Amino acid sequence: MNILFLTTGKYTGIESHALYPDLLREFRRHGHTVYSVSSYEKRTGKQTELIEENGAYSLHVKIGNITKCGMVEKGISTLLIEGQYLRAIKKYLSDVKFDLVMYSTPPITLVKVIEFIKKRDGAKSYLLLKDIFPQNAVDIGIMKKTGLKGILYRYFRKKEKKLYAISDYIGCMSKANVEYVLKHNPEVSRDIIEVCPNAVEVFDNSVDISVRDEIREKYGIPKDKRVFVYGGNLGRPQGIPYLIECLRAEKDNNDAFFLVVGDGTEYKKLEAFVNDEKPKNMMLLKRLPKEDYDRMVGACDVGMIFLDHRFTIPNFPSRLLAYMQAKLPVLAVTDPNTDVGQVCIDGGFGTWCEANDTSIFSEKVAELLGSDLRLMGERGFEYLCEHYTAEGEYNIIMARLGERTEAMV
């Protein structure tokens, strides 16, 4: 089959190790021809181009800036993406007939592109639902349902419903996501929606003691403390003001060390906290290259997930998988609507607390300091191998298409 994957995010190629390349390599491994369409933001200076890489094809489309820019520029660029993608596909992929088109959220402005491929080729469509937009923007105050901003909300909400309507199948990250979509979109049939979680090609990214000590020495991380690491985006969705309150509550903890690695719109708030209060048991680092970051995570003891307490939608952060690959137990600090914390508890590889009380956070830190972290980390890796592999994700999608896979025979 010819597979088309659409994303407006950064896509560096099929051989890179991330959620979507890992899945697309599974399709290639099973004999399918894979095409992807992704973006080159204006600031890169790159032009639209089609690249072949080991039998897979990547169409990179020049668009406006949609990251690290103002809301007006982001909004205009987002609205223009559909037309830019359509023109590029018609120019570069006019002679390819697709059997399956897959796409992820956000954003939800690829509706016309999907409709075009379905009508032109008779392709089936599969939505990999990663973000429930625009409600997630409403939850954290970026968008409103009333007033002038309400016009924008209603526009994107209409687009969201249209996206669900044109999707033959919808794969959600967790059971909570499935139930949320069905509750708030009663027109969506339960027959077409299922759990198709974030998944990766599994590698053991844990490190032995000697390597751990070497990495910690390189970055100035104490060797004699349990290191709690948070890695990833530092923006509004992560509830950075609350994260700062948690770090402040733990600044006199002599047994724990807190490492935050990342970048984002709220980074400067963390930087100001570190510069002003100079906590001795914390380190803040800018985003690292993926290989360096993965090695650093392997040298830590506990991985942390933070989500803003205001979320009504059940987010399921992909950084969970990086912690599991490094065999780290997980401390999930989130809103009460996501089920990521319950998954950690049920799997025996982590714990959870609501992101609204620093005293409970401190209790969970103390609980983990007294736990067998090595055993919990091993359980997490086993759970990853059972539930979150790219091969398993491939099988879920292909089962919907009525195709038998090697694993099902």
For the domain made up of 2-201+389-408, give the CATH fold: Rossmann fold (3.40.50)
Amino acid 106: pLDDT: 64
- CA torsion sign, 222 to 226 to 230 to 236? negative
Could you give the angle at which helices 71-92 and 111-121 cross, rounded to 10 degrees? 10
Per-residue pLDDT of the chain (409 residues; tens, 9 = 90+): 999 999 987 788 899 988 999 999 999 999 999 999 999 999 989 999 999 999 999 999 999 988 777 778 887 888 899 999 999 999 999 999 999 999 987 656 789 999 999 999 999 999 999 989 889 999 999 889 998 889 989 988 998 999 999 999 999 999 999 999 999 999 999 999 999 999 999 999 999 999 999 999 999 999 999 999 999 889 899 999 999 999 999 999 999 999 999 998 899 999 999 999 999 999 999 878 888 888 899 999 999 999 999 999 999 999 999 999 999 999 999 999 999 999 999 999 999 999 999 999 999 999 999 999 999 999 999 999 999 999 999 999 999 988 544 433 3
Contact 35, 93 (CB under 8 A): yes
For residue 5 the two structure tokens come to 């994957």
Judge if 2-201+389-408 and 209-387 fold alike in CATH terms: yes
Could you give the angle at which helices 240-249 and 267-277 cross, rounded to 10 degrees? 20
Q: Could you tell me which residues are beta bridge partners of residue 51? A: 58
Give helix then strand counts, H and E, for the chain. Answer: 15, 14
Domain ranges in the chain? Answer: 2-201+389-408, 209-387
Architecture of 209-387 per CATH? Answer: 3-Layer(aba) Sandwich (3.40)
Amino acid 29: pLDDT: 95
Q: What is the DSSP string of 234-299?
A: -SGGGTHHHHHHHHHHTTT-SSEEEEEEEESTTHHHHHHHHHHH--TTEEEEPPPPHHHHHHHHHT
Residue type, 6: L
Could you give the C-alpha distances from 276 to 13, 265, 280, 353, in angstroms and in order? Answer: 41, 19, 12, 28
